[in-house]
Structure 1
Amino acid sequence: MPSKKNEAMLKEVNESLDSSKGLFVIDYRGLSVKESQELRRKLRDADAEMKVYKNNIVKIALAEHDMPNIDDILVGTTACVFYAVDPVEAAKAIKDTSKELNKVEFLGGISDGQAIDAAQALAIADLPSREELLARLAAAVSAPLTGFVRVLNGPVQGLATALTQIAEQKEGQAAA
């Protein structure tokens, strides 16, 4: 019979899975408390959270949620990073911390309902964020429209310039 502590942990893992769109599994060995707190702050800013659970409890929770089997990743000292909205922001926070401290390492995870390995998790970190993609889309859509408006505005602006010059000429002739 499982202990009450393990049952409580399983419930907490299930709640984290229910409120997230996916997760990354990282090896966090060697992080000091201060470094761990800094990573958690960065993840919070990216709408993600890092939790440390027993690997077997996470495996049970994943099975209960019909999520892919990542048993080969959940080995040793691991932490789960659950992201609520955008996997890119969470992955970038992990990658940035990994570069700064050289202590954090992607092991894999689950994204869009599929198991991913460490290389795929790093590839997600290299993607542009959702906001960047929306900005690029807006620029791509607005560029042709801006050109079209300039073309339409050309004859009107030319007419206005010609009328201004005619008015100035008539004023010059009237003054002379």
Structure 2
Amino acid sequence: MNRSEKAEAIAELNQIFKDANLMVVTRQSGLSVQEVTDLRRKVRAAGASYKVAKNRLMLRALEGTSFTALGTLFKGPTAIAYSKDPVAAAKVISAFAKGNEKLSIVGGALGENTLDVAGVQALATLPSLDALRGTIIGLIQAPATKIAGVLAAPAGQLARVFGAYGATEDGAKAA
């Protein structure tokens, strides 16, 4: 890799670090090509990305981003999983690491907050941003539908009373 290629790689990584909300640093030792391909497929399906690069390039790219505290984690065979969704990358990496001992979570960061292994795994247990939005919308809409039901109930009850009265003998004579 010549200087211009390194500069280009650093610029690309720097842009990744600036755009991401969540960064998970992993240590991979002995993963086969098939396993890495499977991991990348799962990460992509969750709306996240997985990248392997030289530690020296990663450290250079971290400069000037909110993830500078992660610099100490880049030792040995490391890779990063990142996403704009605050939990997507953590969920996939955590699930994959449970099933494969060759991949381990070293740490991560959510915005400017540095996370240890337990923090990343705790983040992985949270629902996704879309699931949270759906829950909030459901909670907001529930009172509105209840209010509409309460307001419509008296009119419906009144109509049923008139209908029942009309069905009786007194109602038939009055009509």
CA gap 1:13/1:132 in 2 versus in 1, 3 angstroms: same
Q: CA deviation at 1:86?
A: 0.4
Task: Report the TM-score when normalising by structure 2.
Answer: 0.85
Letter in 2 for 1:25: V
Tell me, which stretches of 5 or more residues in structure 1 are unaligned? none
Match in the other structure for 1:54: 54
CA gap 1:62/1:93 in 2 versus in 1, 3 angstroms: same
Greater CA deviation, 161-170 or 25-34? 161-170
Identical pairs, percent: 30
In structure 2, the residue corresponding to 1:87 is in which secondary structure?
coil
How do residues 95-114 of structure 1 correspond to structure 2 at under 5 angstroms? 95-114=94-113
Separation in 1 of the partners of 2:50 and 2:133?
27
Match in the other structure for 1:33: 33
Q: CA deviation at 1:48?
A: 1.6
RMSD, aligned α-carbons: 2.3
Match in the other structure for 2:43: 43
Match in the other structure for 2:75: 75
Letter in 1 for 2:106: L
Separation in 2 of the partners of 1:128 and 1:100?
20
Match in the other structure for 2:138: 139
Q: CA deviation at 1:149?
A: 2.1
Q: Deviations over 1:72-96 (max 9, x none)?
A: 211111101121x202111111112
Letter in 2 for 1:167: G
Match in the other structure for 2:150: 151
CA gap 1:8/1:159 in 2 versus in 1, 3 angstroms: same
Separation in 2 of the partners of 1:143 and 1:172?
39
CA gap 1:12/1:167 in 2 versus in 1, 3 angstroms: same
Separation in 2 of the partners of 1:93 and 1:42?
7
CA gap 1:111/1:15 in 2 versus in 1, 3 angstroms: same
In structure 1, the residue corresponding to 2:73 is in which secondary structure?
coil
Separation in 2 of the partners of 1:57 and 1:95?
25
Q: Deviations over 1:102-139 (max 9, x none)?
A: 33221112211222221111111111111111122122
In structure 1, the residue corresponding to 2:71 is in which secondary structure?
coil
In structure 2, the residue corresponding to 1:71 is in which secondary structure?
helix
Letter in 2 for 1:59: L
Match in the other structure for 1:162: 161
Match in the other structure for 2:65: 65
Separation in 1 of the partners of 2:66 and 2:165?
78
In structure 2, the residue corresponding to 1:51 is in which secondary structure?
strand
Number of corresponding residues: 172
Q: Deviations over 1:43-62 (max 9, x none)?
A: 11222211111112111111
Letter in 2 for 1:118: V
Tell me, which stretches of 5 or more residues in structure 2 are unaligned? none
